[in-house]
Structure 1
Amino acid sequence: MEDRLVLAPAIRKMMVRILPFIMLGYVIAYVDRVNISFAAIQMNVDLGFSATVYGLGAGLFFLSYGLFEVPSSMLMERVGPKRWLVRIMLTWGAIATAMMFVETPIQFYIMRFMLGVAEAGFFPTIMFYLSGWFPAAYRGRAISWVYIAPPVASILMGAVSGWLLELDGLGNLHGWQWLFLVQGLPGVVLAIVIWRFLPESPAEVGWLSVAEKEQLGVALSSDASLVVEHSRHDLLGALTNPVVLLLGFIGLFGNLSAVGLILSAPAVLTDAAAMDTISIGYLVSGSGILGTLLILAAGWNSDRHGDRLLDAIILAVVCVTGLLALAWSPSPWLAMGGYLFFAVCTFPVGLLCVSSAPDLLSVRQLAVGVAAINTFWQMGSFASPYLTGIARDATGDYSAGLYAAALAGLCQVALMVYLRQRVRIARAARILMVAAESLGSDKAPQ
């Protein structure tokens, strides 16, 4: 408790001076990866793209993003997280803006693939950067503020994109071209701002006192001492680390369970609850607001008791319950309730799993490890919408796909239960080892 009181002023300063840059970057990144859903309203008609062409191009982002996560993060370790964040944002902002010049399916495929390549490594770099500032007792809250970026981005994108599409014809540009131009350039601008104002490490800032820096270093070192070191810290080491593999498959099953419904929610709710578009919009927006609040609450609560996986397990069970209710849906009210259960809890589950990585991996393996984990997650993101569509075409409704999503969610829960038990045993053994070493040192002759 005393350590927390000493660190509290430093944590507040970091929350104010660091997190806004990171959160804004993630908001822009999320906008630039999914704004294509709004652009497609006009773009597909103007360019003659079929649903198949659009679907493949949209999915290629996740494929390249996942494939290049590890190489990008390995390069980040060489050049440093701040420089790599700037590089990532400059390239993705430029490519997101250049989407306005797409004319053919091949160009569309290439640009979406390259956007994924450019953005790859962004989230692992954020995690690596924050792990050098925030001790484990505060990390969940810090990451939760970053993790609310997707729902915040959705709110902003929904409010602005329709207006941008209305600019159709202005300056001889289509509305979808204005959308890519206006929403892509902020990435370039923010990269310049981050280069100028985001500090590299606590050691170089003047707004932390010497005592705060020392206490912060002690807290970070103490956290590191509780992590069981793996024998290797390269890609092979990450892929042979059971914690990396377990977190990777937890995210893969989680995204298999969630992303298909996230990208098909209006159609699913139309079928299951016979809702009109306006009502669906209110429901989705309301779930986003509640989900944002739960993300912040989950980050705070997991820091308070230190057992992030327990909270993730509970919320994942709620998500599975929602999926089953939505799949069964004998009444519109049950379908809407099931969707709310799922939509409010799914992002907090992701937050808690992501927040667990810095707690369970050593600093030397964190960047490559998180990148490997995220690669598994993106494979789930790539497959989920495609499999949801196959199930819909084969059966005529979304029920089969929702039951399959619930099964994937149960697999995620089972893996989290196993990982939690494994970590508890390993950490208890590590604490005993540190205590024994300390006792032996005290008894050594002076």
Structure 2
Amino acid sequence: MSTHNAPTQQSSLNKLLIRKLMPLLVIVYVISFLDRTNIALAKASMGIDLGMSSAAYGLGAGLFFLTYALFEIPSNLVMHKVGARFWITRIMITWGLLSIGMAFVRGETSFYVMRLLLGAAEAGLFPGVMLYLTYWFGREERARATGYFLLGVCIANIVGGPLGGALLELDGALGFHGWQWLFVIEGLPAVLLAYVVWKVLPDRPTKASWLPRAEAEALEKRLAAEQDSRSGGRSAHSFRTCLRDRQVWLAIFVYFCHQLTIYTTIFFLPGIIGKSGHFSPFAIGLLSATPWLAAAVGAATLPRFASDSVKSRRILVGGLVVMASGLLIAAYSTPAIGLLGVSLSASMFFVVQSIIFTFPSSRLSGSALAGGLGLVNSCGLLGGFVGPTVMGLIEQSTGRAMNGLVALAVALVIAAVCSLRLRHGAEERQTTVGTAAAREAV
């Protein structure tokens, strides 16, 4: 490969990898998000049929993330050993069957148990894919690939709203409630798609039949060299490395505040829209999809500009501030303007998320990378437990769920300030070397 043609050939390879890998991974994430969040649309009718309060619903929505977080790190370490194809297939089968099982809950206790089991079954999917992408993409391209992957969340919420609303209107068919149809029909695709993942998804470049052997080996060598360079003379392979890294814990805090916002929006936006007017379940589903159109535009366009540490940090800080501004608009305005405010906030949801993970992944390798990404996601996703739980309590005590949006905005501003101190591994090493050289010169 000549020096002149190298950038062109690298660009062509990245386009091939995105075309071959990302569509299937995006579909997997679409189904994953439908199955973990469809209780948002089921909330009203399920609450009536089972006699559940808003606080009980919020707790059940959040319990998913406790077991999800608990099993994230073990799941990622297992995937690092057994391969992505087998492990993602296993995850999909178990979560699909449990999602179908949600149709048969009979009260608060069974609701809590099924949400806990669903979280344990799905644990490891997101950080597993984040780890999987490091097998195929270098740091400069990974934020872009992650942005495409996160389009799955947007698609799930765009499609899931109208689809879920239509399924709820099957209420009474064959003696089933509408929310039972919702869980069964949206749970089946996960089990069916697991077979496709098993047959199609390659574990790494040298296992891909569509990639020339020489090109696959060169890609693996290049990425291995990039991972080795992260250590900067330190042992970055041990899981204990990430536990001692302050930058990893800073990324966790920022991600926690980010997840507070996303899951509160997912679980409570349909209810907020429903209370603002006389809408059918299908109309509520359509209106709930609006912010995710904005999120899809952001995820598809902005992460590609995060090509280095400085640009990544600027986009990250700006995205968090925009998210906070949108929530404040939603909290203090009319329902129509409020929906636009939530859409403004949502436009940065996955721009921020795709960039956050580039910071810890630029500093770790080996099992530390697998465990570190699991650690960031598991601790950050506790925001998915705290956010809905607190919002449920606020809605029940004040009668107005919008009151919690101000607290979320404050958390996002704090996260933006903290993000100013995030550093990629290479940037931190350059700063350290520059400081040492300056001291020697003096």
Note if contact 1:7-1:212 (Cα within 8 Å) is conserved in structure 2: no
**CA–CA separation in structure 1 for the residues paired with 2:55 and 2:392:** 11
Note if contact 1:7-1:215 (Cα within 8 Å) is conserved in structure 2: no
Give CA deviations for 1:289-322 in whole Å, capped at 9, x if unaligned.
2221111112222248883222111111212222
Superposed displacement of residue 3, structure 1 = 3.1
Do structure 1's residue 351 and structure 2's residue 354 form an aligned pair? yes
Cα 1:430/1:360, change in 2 over 3 Å: farther
Instruction: Report what 1:155 is aligned to.
Output: 158
State the SS of the aligned residue for 1:318.
helix
**CA–CA separation in structure 2 for the residues paired with 1:276 and 1:303:** 46
Which residue identity lines up with residue 411 of structure 2 in the other structure? A
Do structure 1's residue 166 and structure 2's residue 169 form an aligned pair? yes
Report the more deviating stretch, 44-53 or 380-389.
44-53
Instruction: Report what 2:382 is aligned to.
Output: 379
Of 302, 321, 325 in structure 1, the residue corresponding to residue 325 of structure 2 is 321
**CA–CA separation in structure 2 for the residues paired with 1:100 and 1:411:** 40
Report the more deviating stretch, 373-382 or 211-220.
211-220
Do structure 1's residue 17 and structure 2's residue 20 form an aligned pair? yes
Give CA deviations for 1:317-349 in whole Å, capped at 9, x if unaligned.
2122223333444x7776455333212222321
Q: Output aligned runs, 1:151-300, within 5 Å.
A: 151-228=154-231, 231=235, 233-265=237-269, 277=279, 284-300=288-304
**CA–CA separation in structure 1 for the residues paired with 2:128 and 2:434:** 29
State the SS of the aligned residue for 1:307.
helix
Note if contact 2:327-2:342 (Cα within 8 Å) is conserved in structure 1: yes
**CA–CA separation in structure 1 for the residues paired with 2:215 and 2:242:** 33
Which residue identity lines up with residue 97 of structure 1 in the other structure? I
**CA–CA separation in structure 1 for the residues paired with 2:277 and 2:239:** 48
Of 407, 411, 414 in structure 1, the residue corresponding to residue 414 of structure 2 is 411
Do structure 1's residue 143 and structure 2's residue 146 form an aligned pair? yes
**CA–CA separation in structure 1 for the residues paired with 2:58 and 2:77:** 31
Superposed displacement of residue 261, structure 1 = 4.1
**CA–CA separation in structure 2 for the residues paired with 1:180 and 1:270:** 20
Superposed displacement of residue 403, structure 1 = 2.8
Report the more deviating stretch, 119-128 or 136-145.
136-145
Do structure 1's residue 113 and structure 2's residue 97 form an aligned pair? no
Note if contact 2:295-2:348 (Cα within 8 Å) is conserved in structure 1: yes
**CA–CA separation in structure 2 for the residues paired with 1:199 and 1:224:** 20
**CA–CA separation in structure 1 for the residues paired with 2:392 and 2:248:** 30
Note if contact 2:41-2:270 (Cα within 8 Å) is conserved in structure 1: no
Instruction: Report what 1:436 is aligned to.
Output: none
Of 133, 136, 156 in structure 2, the residue corresponding to residue 133 of structure 1 is 136
State the SS of the aligned residue for 2:422.
helix
Cα 1:99/1:18, change in 2 over 3 Å: same
**CA–CA separation in structure 2 for the residues paired with 1:106 and 1:287:** 32
Do structure 1's residue 57 and structure 2's residue 60 form an aligned pair? yes
Instruction: Report what 1:89 is aligned to.
Output: 92
Note if contact 2:240-2:368 (Cα within 8 Å) is conserved in structure 1: no
**CA–CA separation in structure 2 for the residues paired with 1:209 and 1:428:** 39
Give CA deviations for 1:212-269 in whole Å, capped at 9, x if unaligned.
2244234313432441365464554332222321111111122234433443335667
**CA–CA separation in structure 1 for the residues paired with 2:405 and 2:426:** 31
Instruction: Report what 2:439 is aligned to.
Output: none
Cα 1:405/1:46, change in 2 over 3 Å: closer
State the SS of the aligned residue for 1:148.
helix
CA RMSD of aligned residues (A): 3.0
Note if contact 2:168-2:182 (Cα within 8 Å) is conserved in structure 1: yes
Superposed displacement of residue 361, structure 1 = 2.4
Instruction: Report what 2:125 is aligned to.
Output: 122
Note if contact 2:96-2:187 (Cα within 8 Å) is conserved in structure 1: yes
**CA–CA separation in structure 2 for the residues paired with 1:361 and 1:115:** 30
Note if contact 1:164-1:179 (Cα within 8 Å) is conserved in structure 2: yes
Note if contact 2:161-2:288 (Cα within 8 Å) is conserved in structure 1: no
Cα 1:100/1:19, change in 2 over 3 Å: same
Which residue identity lines up with residue 253 of structure 2 in the other structure? F
Percent identity for Structure 1 against Structure 2: 33
Cα 1:431/1:173, change in 2 over 3 Å: farther
Superposed displacement of residue 165, structure 1 = 2.4
**CA–CA separation in structure 2 for the residues paired with 1:336 and 1:107:** 33
Do structure 1's residue 40 and structure 2's residue 6 form an aligned pair? no
Which residue identity lines up with residue 64 of structure 1 in the other structure? T
Superposed displacement of residue 132, structure 1 = 0.3
Give CA deviations for 1:44-70 in whole Å, capped at 9, x if unaligned.
333333333333222211111112111
Report the more deviating stretch, 188-197 or 314-323.
314-323
Instruction: Report what 1:100 is aligned to.
Output: 103
State the SS of the aligned residue for 2:302.
helix
Report the more deviating stretch, 226-235 or 413-422.
226-235
Cα 1:391/1:422, change in 2 over 3 Å: farther
Cα 1:5/1:304, change in 2 over 3 Å: farther
Instruction: Report what 1:312 is aligned to.
Output: 316
Instruction: Report what 1:444 is aligned to.
Output: none
Cα 1:258/1:93, change in 2 over 3 Å: closer
Superposed displacement of residue 41, structure 1 = 3.6
Q: Which runs of 5+ in 2 are unaligned?
A: 437-442
Instruction: Report what 2:82 is aligned to.
Output: 79
Superposed displacement of residue 23, structure 1 = 0.9
Superposed displacement of residue 115, structure 1 = 0.3
Which residue identity lines up with residue 63 of structure 1 in the other structure? L
Which residue identity lines up with residue 314 of structure 1 in the other structure? G
State the SS of the aligned residue for 1:59.
helix
Cα 1:353/1:100, change in 2 over 3 Å: same
Note if contact 2:161-2:285 (Cα within 8 Å) is conserved in structure 1: no
Superposed displacement of residue 432, structure 1 = 11
Note if contact 1:226-1:430 (Cα within 8 Å) is conserved in structure 2: no
**CA–CA separation in structure 2 for the residues paired with 1:396 and 1:130:** 44
